[in-house]
Amino acid sequence: MKALTRIFISCTLASLLLCPIATSAQWNKKPYTEWSEKDAQKLLNNSPWARAEVFTDASSMFRSRQAEGPLTGTVGTPQTALHVNFRIRFLSAKPIRMAVKRMTELKQKNDMTPELAANLEAFVNGEFKDLIVVVVNIDSDQQGPNVSEAIGLLQTTGTAAIKNNTFLQVGKERVFLQEYQTPRSDGLGARFIFPRLVDGKPFITPEGKDVRFVAELSPTYKLDERYKIKDMMYGGKLEY
């Protein structure tokens, strides 16, 4: 297997540019029913509830070719590195579901049926009283074996295989994976489900500094992201 270098980014994958999280957070400035596609996309990709973790195959940056002449040997031709991108989002956080609903409305505005509208409304207003749900999606700007391998991991792994090294952490306390669900046809990604309450109390509280999500899918793909709890407030409520 080719060696992969893990790179953390805090901006939309499409541009692969480093940018501060404070940039134009329009979701705090207007109702979600007025969000633009750009507003919703930013919340889904770079917000207090969503991060992108990118694994870069550095070995793909050079393509070997046989040069002419007996003394020149093999030289490298610079190419674009292959990026495997993991989107890690708190689906149980209402702003993420709002962004999904808004993106769907904007993209399917000419095909919106009363049934779909009702389903989206129920999706946004669903309650997560006992569970924390983190979803992970994979995309890439290119195709390659590493992309297929990463997607295959999400499709074939199970709770038993990853439960001992998949957890949420606040301070020194950890809560381990309760259930893993493979990706569905809804496009939201694989679901990592954790208990919301520990000993009858919320695991994540406003007093915490950050919440860390860790999932070791394989020796190559180890996800490790932190989310600042103070930034996960929306409408006066801690959303996660």
| pLDDT tens digits, one per residue of 170-203 | 999 999 999 999 999 999 999 999 999 999 999 9
CB 134 within 8 A of CB 213: yes
Residue 151: pLDDT above 90?
yes
For 202, the domain range is 5-238
Average pLDDT over every residue of 17-32: 58
| Calpha distance 59→71 (Å, rounded) | 24
Taking only the tens place, the pLDDT of each residue in 71-116 is 334 444 445 667 888 999 999 999 999 999 999 999 888 888 999 9
pLDDT the model gives residue 84:
87
Average pLDDT over every residue of 206-232: 96
Degrees, nearest 5: CA angle 150-46-31: 130
Question: Residue 214 — pLDDT band, cuts 50, 70, 90?
Answer: very high
| Calpha distance 140→147 (Å, rounded) | 7
pLDDT the model gives residue 165:
97
Average pLDDT over every residue of 57-68: 44
CB 58 within 8 A of CB 81: yes
| Calpha distance 29→79 (Å, rounded) | 41
Tally of structural domains, the chain: 1
- The H-or-E segment that residue 50 falls in is strand 50-57
**Average pLDDT of the chain?**
82
- Closest Cα partner for 180 from 150, 126, 217, 138? 217
pLDDT the model gives residue 223:
96
**Is the model's pTM score more than 0.85?**
no
pLDDT the model gives residue 91:
98
Rg of the Cα atoms in the chain: 20
